[in-house]
Amino acid sequence: MAIVHNSLQNKVIWITGASGGIGEALAQELAADGARLILTARREHELERVRASLSNPALHLILPLDITDSQAISTAVATISEKVGGLDWLINNAGISQRALIIDTTMSTERKLFEVDYFAQINLTRQALPLLLADGGGKVVFVSSVAGLVGTQYRGSYSAAKAALHLWANSLRAELSDQGLAVATIFPGFVKTEVSRNALTGDGRALGEMDDAQASAMTAEQFAEKAIKALLKDKSYIVIGGLKERLGAWISRLSPELLYKIIRNSKVR
């Protein structure tokens, strides 16, 4: 049974990519804790499904949104300001993965990965900052990836975008901590979601199948419980995954040269 965290009661939390997978699991966990949620994703009918499954559905606002559309983000922020009045947490969860060798990946696919996994995230965050800072601070959460710490085969641009997001988050934390803004980055390993099915191949098409490692990984619900527990402890650097992913993240900080040797010999696809 999940632990109820009373400190989240009535907190206003915006989750992107909330129509399934990790985003949906975070929504379930946070709603059970009494948070008021703003759920965004491109598929309105899936957002409706998620909201209907939550504790006190009427408390939660859904805003269909393509995070790569800057004007749509501006409209969403204005709607939140008007209908909700403020924002305590922003969880940047939306994203897309990759399953292609560098030599097989087109530049248009490279750009799409960065557009979704980096530029859209920082644009949305920047536009949401006035709401977060209005009451003396808030929390911004970025869902990066262990791939953004280690870099692996078949995920060149994805790893690079997630690494860029991590370092932008570090700068944001340094610049705005004195205004009360907390910034956390979560680095998931393999989680059993549809992420590999939707991952881009070299020509930009979806892979359409689940990786073996994904199929046997922790559930999104298990991930969400661990993530929220760490966030409530005010952790800023959060690695969540199996032993191999956690070990890889640790070695990346201790001995990059050793990590490079391990990655060269690893099977990741």
SS (H, E, C) 130-162: HHHHCCCCCEEEEECCCHHHHCCCCEHHHHHHH
- In whole angstroms, give the CA distance from residue 104 to residue 216: 27
Q: What is the DSSP string of 69-125?
A: -HHHHHHHHHHHHHHT---SEEEE-----B-B-GGG--HHHHHHHHIIIIIHHHHHH
- In whole angstroms, give the CA distance from residue 228 to residue 54: 17
> Annotated catalytic, 237?
no
* The one catalytic residue among 118, 154, 158, 260: 158
Which token pair is 201?
């191949």
Which token pair is 175?
């610049």
Q: Is 174 exposed, middle or buried (0-12, 13-18, 19+ CB in 10 A)?
A: exposed
The 139-143 sheet, strands edge to edge: 61-64, 36-41, 12-16, 89-92, 139-143, 182-188, 237-240
For residue 2, the 8-state DSSP code is P
The catalytic residue positions are: 158
